[in-house]
Structure 1
Amino acid sequence: MVWTAVAGAVVTALLLALGPQLYDGDEIKDTVRDAVRDDSEIRHTVQFMDEGFDLILPAGFEMSDSRRRMLAAVTLDGGLEKQLTDVLGSAEPARPVVLNLRLTLEGRRNQPIFVDRISPVDIEREVPYSGTFIHIPPQISGSTVGMMFNLDERRPQARVPEKVDANDDEAVQRLGGMTDGHKPGALFFQDNTLTLKSAEEDALFIQAVATETAVSFRIRIDYRIGDRRGELVVDDAGDPFRVTPLNCVSRSRWAPDGELLASGMASYENVWSLKGDFSGLEEISDPRRFELGSPYC
């Protein structure tokens, strides 16, 4: 009741002060909106879009007997994320090489909201993860990429995806398969604009790539409403997003005619991989020489 009375008093005062101007501008409407309720200027949701469920943990992660039993009991019928969360507890796994996100933004103001920049922030780097690798590869191709972060850059910025040239051996080896044939190109906001309108959703498909160091980061969105600036920081339910290069010890090799000569190898402390019949996970007996192959290694 007290809040209702206060809100009513605020609105009445605004009505008397603004008079006929009240219905003339979206800025005035937003002023009233702010006075009546505490409402975020941009509403957002984040969804992981990786079709598989590859997770890598840092070296030293304790693979206890109880965790082994839980991993052996994992099924792919449903609730996979919860099953793995129960196993890993408070561990902080990273996605290998590529992180695919769907970031949905919705304007919550009558005025248009102009997004000036989207960039990784709170960046921390460390050696590539080489602890436990939980390998559940994707069975179908990934989502369309609309924006890329090259986390190997000292100050990563949003970039436009470019198709990898089939003759660019280094790019194909480092990025081609894992990124659905894309690499980071020109600056995204150099030639693109993003405007959020009230109650309308815009979905961004973001691909973050790390091939040199393990990287944790959050995403900051810088925007304008009229002549006022604001920012929104997005993360994984309070935790940063994490990406790590693969710990490949050899790369796949092909003959000139395209025949596979040798599959790439990776090295980890523990590897749990999808069974051949897709019924669950099995522990790899020799994780230090794990045949991973293309497009991973």
Structure 2
Amino acid sequence: MAGKRSGKNRSGRGPRKELERPTSTGVPSLPQGAGEQKATSKAFLLAITTGIVVAVASALVLAAGPEIVDSDAKKDQVRDTFRNDPELRYTVEPMDERLQLVLPAGFVLSDKQQRMIPSHELFASGELRAAGAATVDVLTLRVTLEGRRNQDIFVDSVAPVVVERQAPFSGTLFYAPSQGAGTVTKMMFNLDERQPRARIVENYEEGDGETARIFAGLTDGAKPGALFFRENTLTIKDAQEDALLIQSVATEQAVSFNIKIDYRIGGKKKALIIDDEGFPFRVSPLNCVTKGSGMGEAGAGSLGVAAYEDVWQLRDDFSGMERVADPQRFEAFRSC
């Protein structure tokens, strides 16, 4: 009779257990729900890490300042590093022939220099500037400013910086007043002021007063008005030029000065000093010993008298200059 099968297998061992099937990675699978918990933990850690990185990066940007955010500022940093280029480039051009000049007392021209006067060669040589010559009464300049940065440049002030004040020069005078209307300007320096600043140019009107009348007689009817930068703004962009036509007028003393331009770029205040090719600009009134009646209707008025060591005057036919016989009593209508 066949006996009953026991729970043992043929090998005599107990019942066979189902083995856990390996995963595709060879690692036993986790209990149900454990995978979701692990994924959630990873996402949580990733979110915290990302937040920390963003916070640190933001702090670094804020610490570095606005320049790191401003692309123009970053481009300018590169230009500063690889180019020897000023932020603000300038050129200066006299708007007259600079034939009306006066030398300080005591300067004696050499024979060679005197021979260069009639043909105007001496004025082009630069020797008079080196000797300290001043323009008589009014100096008119075109100052051209060019931006050399990606960021805008904001000009806040243009003003003469006085180097020296002296009595009117009384050495050698070269007298060749401007013929006809002068250049129309929009900015004027009144060098008689204690601290001169740029002023707008206004037209003279009867009743404006003695000072305005004197200025009008020297500038073809113009006078200094309100402060220029109180009513005007000046923004200079990259590779663009702005020309300033400036009249500098002195009626009391000889004044030596440079021109200072205050400007801002990227929130920083800076300054540029402009001179006359290594020398200060100089303006001197005539050395008047007798005042005339000045400007009147149709140019009428009595002549004033100025005194100098030597005087050279433009010939009537404008062909050159000739020496004046009595430099101690030189009649000069426009200034005296």
- TM norm structure 2: 0.74
Structure 2 CA distance for partners of 1:258 and 1:233, relative to 1, 3 Å: closer
Provide structure 1 residue ranges, at least 5 long, that are not aligned to the other structure: 1-17
* CA contact 1:51–1:141 (8 Å) conserved in 2: no
Aligned pair partner of 2:119 in 72, 75, 82: 75
Instruction: Kindly report structure 1 stretches of 4+ aligned residues shifted beyond 4 Å.
Output: 21-24, 254-259
Aligned to 1:267: 307
1:1-297 to structure 2, matched below 5 A, reads 25-50=71-96, 53-71=99-117, 74-75=118-119, 81-83=123-125, 85-86=126-127, 88=128, 90-168=130-208, 170-171=210-211, 173-253=213-293, 260=300, 262-293=302-333, 295-297=334-336
Once the two structures are superposed, what CA deviation does each residue of 1:61-84 show, in whole Å capped at 9, x if it has no partner? 11444443332xx325xx66325x
Distance in structure 1 (CA, Å) of the matches to 2:228 and 2:302: 38
Distance in structure 1 (CA, Å) of the matches to 2:136 and 2:97: 13
Which amino acid is 1:147 matched to?
M
Structure 2 CA distance for partners of 1:159 and 1:173, relative to 1, 3 Å: closer
- Cα drift, residue 283 of structure 1: 0.6
Structure 2 CA distance for partners of 1:251 and 1:168, relative to 1, 3 Å: farther
Answer 1 or 2: higher relative contact order, Cα 8 Å, separation at least 6: 1
* CA contact 1:52–1:139 (8 Å) conserved in 2: no
Q: Which has the larger radius of gyration?
A: 2
Distance in structure 1 (CA, Å) of the matches to 2:294 and 2:215: 17
**More displaced, 204-213 or 256-265?**
256-265
* CA contact 1:57–1:131 (8 Å) conserved in 2: yes
- Cα drift, residue 169 of structure 1: 5.6
- TM norm structure 1: 0.83
Count of aligned pairs: 271
- Cα drift, residue 160 of structure 1: 1.0
Structure 2 CA distance for partners of 1:257 and 1:97, relative to 1, 3 Å: closer
Distance in structure 2 (CA, Å) of the matches to 1:48 and 1:261: 30
**More displaced, 44-53 or 195-204?**
44-53
Distance in structure 2 (CA, Å) of the matches to 1:80 and 1:256: 35
Structure 2 CA distance for partners of 1:277 and 1:28, relative to 1, 3 Å: same
